[in-house]
A and B are shown apart, each in its own frame.
Chain A
Amino acid sequence: MATAAQNSLKLLGRSPWSARFGMLVILVYVVTAIGAPLIAPYGETEIVGIEYEPWNEVYPLGTDNLGRDMLSRIIYGARNTVGVAFATTMLAFLIGSIAGLLAATLRGWADQLLSRLVDVMMAIPPLVFALLILTIVGTNLINMILVIAVLDSTRVFRLTRAVAMNVVVMDFVEAARLRGEGLWWIMRREILPNISAPLAAEFGLRFCFVFLTISALSFLGLGLQPPTADWGSMVRDNATLISYGDITPVIPAAAIALLTVAINFVVDWFLHETSGLKE
C-alpha cells in the first residue's frame, strides 16, 4: 500500500507543468462544486439586486438579467454543470465500454446485433434524436442525463469495440480463454487495461461535449430546469450580449473551456506515460 502511494507520488513528481496545472484546475473545480453553498456570496436563485448591475464590490461579476448575483450563479453552476457532465460521461462510458467489450469478445451474433443497433442510432442526427426523445419523455434532469449518455455511449461503443478487437486476438487473451477464465474476468483483467489509453483520451473530449450538448439543447429551449444555474444555459441566456462586445457570457463559456483544457492536459500526460515513450 505504502509503495503504491510512494509510486504515485513519484509519478506526480515527474509530471510536466501542464499536467500539474490541469490537476490543480480540476481540484479547484471539485472543491468549488462541493463547497458551493459555503463559497458563494449569495444563494443560487436569490434575487439580490437590479438587473445587469455592472461589476462592483458587492457583486464582483455583476448581476444577470433577473438581478441574481453572477458570481454565485457561476459557483453553483460548477456544481450542477460538472456534476451532470461527470454523471453523464461516466454513464456513457459504462454503457458504451461494456457493450463494446462484449461485442469484441463474444463476436458473432452478439457483435452483429450490437453493432447494427449502434449503426442505426448513429445514423440519426444526435440533436434531432435528443429533441425527439426529450419532447416525448419530458425534460427533467434524469431524462436529460440518460438521453445524452445513451447517445454518447454509441461513440464510446465504436471506439471500445475497434480497439478491443485488436487486443482480443492477442495470445494472452487466447491463453486466458484456454485457462477457462470467465468472460467478465477476461474483459476486465486482460482487455480493459490494454485499451485504457484511447478510452481516456476519448473521455477528455466526451466530457466537454456534454456541456455543448446541454448548451445546444437549451438553444432549442430544452435545457435544464430553471432556476438551476448551469453554464451551458447561462451561455445561451446571455449570448446576445456578445453582439455588443459585453464579455459577461464569456465567463461561463471560459469556465467550461478551462476545465476542458485542464482535463485534456492530464489525459495527454496519461497517454504519454502509457505510450512507453521515454522523452
Chain B
Amino acid sequence: MGPILKMVAQRLALGLLTLFAVSLIIFLSVEMLPGDITEAILGQGATPETVAAFRRELGLDVPAHLRYLAWLGDIAQGDLGRSLASKRDIAELIGGRLMNTLFLASFAAIIAVPLAVTLGLLSALYRNSWFDRGINLVTLSSISFPEFFIAYALIFLFAVQWDWFPSIVNVNSDTPFWERVYRCILPAVTLTLVTTAHMMRMTRAAIINLMASPYIEMADLKGLTRLRIIVRHALPNALSPIINVIAINLAYLVVGVVLVEVVFVYPGLGQLMIDSVSKRDIPVVQAACLIFAVTYILLNLLADILSILSNPRLLHPR
C-alpha cells in the first residue's frame, strides 16, 4: 500500500496547485470579459453615474490583483466569501445547489454505469452480431442528438402526451425523498442516454482489444465458455480504461449538465455558474469552478487508485 499512499499524497499536492491555477485563470478571464457586474446587473439601466456608484459600493474600484489576493486570503481560511450581486454567503448559496447537482448526478450514474458496462460486455460477447450492431446503432444515435433535444423529446412523450412524469422538476429543500426521485426521473433518463454510449463503447473496445491476447486464446483452447472468458479473464485486465472513462463521465454528470438543468428547470450548480458568469459575479464563479475542479481531481485520483488496485503490475512499476 505504500506506493499508493505516496501517489495519493503527491496527487493531492498537485491538485492544490491545479486549483490555484484554475482560480487564477477563471479570475483573469472573468476580469477580461467585456463589461462588469455593475453593467450586467443594471443592464439597459446602466448610466456612467449609476455604474460608478455601484462599483464603489461593491469595492470594484480596488485594482484587480489586490482583489484576487484578498479572495485568495479568504479562501485559504476556508471562507468562500459573499456574492457580489446578492450579498449572500456563497457557501450557503452553493450548498443547496451542490446537493441538487450531486443528487441528479448520482441518480443518473446509478442507472447509466451498470447499464453501460453490461451492454458493453454483451456486445463484446456477441460482437459483430445483429445484437452488437443494434446496440451500437441505438447508443450512437442517442449521443448524436444534443442533450436539450433529447430532453424536449422525452418531455413531449412522457409529460405532455402520456402525463407520466412532470415536465419540470421544481423541487426545493422540503420535497420528500421519493417525491424528488419521481420528479427527477426524466432528467436522469436524459443524462443516461447521453452518457451510456461513451462508456459502453469503451467497455466493448477495451475487451475486444484483449481478445487476441495469447492468454485469452489459451483460455479459449481450454474450452471455457465465452461468457466465462470475458468476465473472468478479459474484464479484470480491461478494468483500467473502463474505470477511466466512467470517471470522465461521472465528472461530466456533475459539471456539464447545464442545458439539462435549464430545460427541466432544475436548480443545480451549472445554471448558477452560467448565471454568475453572465452577471460577472466573480466570487460565485470562482467558488463553483473550484467545486467542479475538486470533483474532477478527486474522481481522477479515485480512477487511478482503482486502476492500480485492479492491476498489480501497475502497483509495482519497474
Task: Give the contact stretch, choosing among B1-9, B84-92, B147-155.
Answer: B147-155
Given the known A-B contacts A125-B289, A268-B136, A271-B208, are A205 and B198 also in contact in the complex, defined by CB atoms under 8 Å?
yes
With a cutoff of 8 Å between Cβ atoms, the chain B residues found around residue A245 in the complex are 156, 161
- Per-residue CB contact flags for chain A residues 24-58 toward chain B (1 = under 8 Å, else 0) read 00000000000000000000000000000000000
Q: Which of A116, A131, A240, A264 contacts B277 (CB 8 A)?
A: A131
Chain B CB within 8 A of A201 CB: yes
Number of interface residues of B (CB under 8 A): 54
Complex Cα spacing A133 to B29, Å:
7
With a cutoff of 8 Å between Cβ atoms, the chain B residues found around residue A188 in the complex are none
- Per-residue CB contact flags for chain B residues 135-165 toward chain A (1 = under 8 Å, else 0) read 0110011011111110011011000110000
Given the known A-B contacts A211-B144, A235-B146, A242-B152, are A126 and B256 also in contact in the complex, defined by CB atoms under 8 Å?
yes
The DSSP consensus for interface residues of chain B is: helix
- Let me know if A276 and B212 touch, CB within 8 A: yes
- Let me know if B149 and A136 touch, CB within 8 A: no
Chain A CB within 8 A of B66 CB: no
- Let me know if B205 and A201 touch, CB within 8 A: yes
Complex Cα spacing A126 to B262, Å:
17
Contacts of A247-276 to chain B: CB distance below 8 A: 249, 253, 256-257, 259-261, 264-265, 268, 271-272, 275-276
Q: Which residue of B lies closest to A277 (CB)?
A: B212
Complex Cα spacing A73 to B255, Å:
34
Q: Which of B22, B201, B211, B270 contacts A205 (CB 8 A)?
A: B201
Complex Cα spacing A141 to B156, Å:
33
- Let me know if A257 and B149 touch, CB within 8 A: no
- Let me know if B297 and A257 touch, CB within 8 A: no
- Per-residue CB contact flags for chain B residues 242-258 toward chain A (1 = under 8 Å, else 0) read 00100000000001101
Number of interface residues of A (CB under 8 A): 54
- Let me know if A271 and B205 touch, CB within 8 A: yes
- Let me know if B128 and A260 touch, CB within 8 A: no
- Let me know if A253 and B149 touch, CB within 8 A: yes
Least Cβ–Cβ distance between A241 and chain B, in angstroms: 9
With a cutoff of 8 Å between Cβ atoms, the chain B residues found around residue A16 in the complex are 128
Identify the B interface with A (CB < 8 A): 14, 17-19, 21-22, 25-26, 29-30, 32-34, 128, 133, 136-137, 140-141, 143-149, 152-153, 155-156, 160-161, 198, 201, 205, 208-209, 211-212, 244, 255-256, 258-259, 262, 270, 273-274, 277, 289, 292-293, 296-297
Could you list 11 further interchain pairs (A-B, Cβ under 8 angstroms) beyond the known A201-B205, A235-B145, A277-B212?
A124-B25, A201-B201, A215-B149, A216-B148, A219-B146, A236-B146, A240-B152, A245-B156, A261-B140, A261-B141, A276-B212
